[in-house]
Amino acid sequence: MDLAALLDRIADDVAPEVGRGAVAGYIPALARVEPWRFGMAVAEVDGAVHGVGDWEHPFSVQSMSKVFTLALALSRGDGVWKRVGREPSGDPFNSLVQLEHEDGIPRNPFINAGALVVTDELASHGDAADALLAFLRQESGNTEIAVDSEVAASEAAHADRNRALAYFMASYGNMRHPVPSVLDQYVRQCSIAMSCADVARSALFLARHGIRNDGSRLLGLSAAKRINAVMLTCGTYDAAGEFAYRVGLPGKSGVGGGIVAIVPGRCAVCVWSPGLDARGNSVAGVAALDRFTTLTGWSVF
Ligand code: DON
């Protein structure tokens, strides 16, 4: 398969979708991103990376960070599953409603409430955002990956919903550290800026059933399988059914317009285009992954 030529073709095919949708407005710094951006990278398990468009341009990873923090938490044991579920929520990513009926246990680690619990779990071992940065730099080989401080400040100034989620869970005893500290770590991890190439390389351990780029094992086979399974069922929130239908891969989106998807045993893919649909997923990004699995036949089904 000539992946470079394939990516060129996908970029042509989805060009009419680029710029459609709306950039995230609830974090003001994200609203300034140019909506016409499009990039896509594929990292193969042997380390080869191919890309098209803005594939080396850094953007805000936002909720894609939740895959990596979950992996880091599970690499230290599976205690986090006592505090967070693994069922699709069917509700928006920042919804509060299910927590009250479900004893402050979030449905899954990829909605905001669940990711706050994962950050709280990681915080028992040191600063969660620092641990995440170290991991991403090592896996991608890019030591310049950093928190975008403008995005972090903007998000921190508009974090009332996440603050409410965290305090609500604290009221059920599902928050071990002070909410302001957990929120600060969560906001910084969401505000990390990376390119599609960086993200695809960093996610390869999920395509390699838990093996990192240096050959060491981050996760056991089961934990890697489970993260992929939860990405498939919960990674694109209340659009997870539609994403599985169209793309057929484990995937995780972010409101920065990125989506990371895994082809187990073969490659990790990251696509970025900032225009979002009503559920917070990149319009051109989903279209590009839909073309990718259609043209390659590489889906998990
Ligand atoms: O906490 C938030 O709302 C953002 N930092 C991340 C949300 C997000 O990326 C949802 N993804 N589609």
Question: Which residues sit opposite 270 in a β-bridge?
Answer: 41, 260
Q: Residue 292: its pLDDT value, please?
A: 98
Whole-number Å distance between alpha carbons of 250 and 244: 8
Probe target for ligand 1 pocket from 26, 61, 62, 89, with the most ligand atoms within 8 Å of CB? 62
Q: Would you name the residues annotated as active-site residues?
A: 63, 66, 186, 237, 255
Q: Residue 109: its pLDDT value, please?
A: 98
Q: Which residue minimizes the CA distance to atom 1 of ligand 1?
A: 112
User: What's the helix, strand, coil split of the chain in %, to 5?
Assistant: 50, 15, 40
What's the token pair of residue 13? 């095919």
Range with lowest mean pLDDT among 26-30, 38-42, 280-284: 26-30
Any atom of ligand 1 within 6 Å of the Cβ of 254? yes
Q: Residue 245: its pLDDT value, please?
A: 97
Q: Which residue minimizes the CA distance to atom 11 of ligand 1?
A: 254
Q: Which residues of 114-132 are buried (b: 16+ CB within 10 A; e: fewer)?
A: bbbbbbbbbbeeebbbebb
Structural domain spans, the chain: 3-296
Atom nearest to 115 CA in ligand 1: 1
Any atom of ligand 1 within 6 Å of the Cβ of 59? no
Q: Which residue minimizes the CA distance to atom 12 of ligand 1?
A: 254
Radius of gyration over alpha carbons of the chain, in Å? 17
Question: What does the pLDDT look like over 172-196, one tens digit per residue?
Answer: 999 999 999 999 999 999 999 999 9
What's the token pair of residue 230? 């939860």
pLDDT band at 201 (very low <50, low <70, confident <90, very high): very high
Binding-site entries for substrate: 63, 112, 155, 162, 186, 237, 255
Q: Residue 191: its pLDDT value, please?
A: 98
What's the token pair of residue 43? 């990292």
Question: What does the pLDDT look like over 248-283, one tens digit per residue?
Answer: 999 999 999 999 999 999 999 999 999 999 999 999
Atom nearest to 276 CA in ligand 1: 12
CATH 3.40.710.10 for domain 3-296: yes
* CA of residue 112 to ligand 1 center, whole Å: 7
Any atom of ligand 1 within 6 Å of the Cβ of 280? yes
pLDDT band at 66 (very low <50, low <70, confident <90, very high): very high
Q: Residue 59: its pLDDT value, please?
A: 98
* CA of residue 93 to ligand 1 center, whole Å: 7
Q: Is 82 exposed, middle or buried (0-12, 13-18, 19+ CB in 10 A)?
A: exposed
Spacing of C-alpha 214 from chain mean position:
22
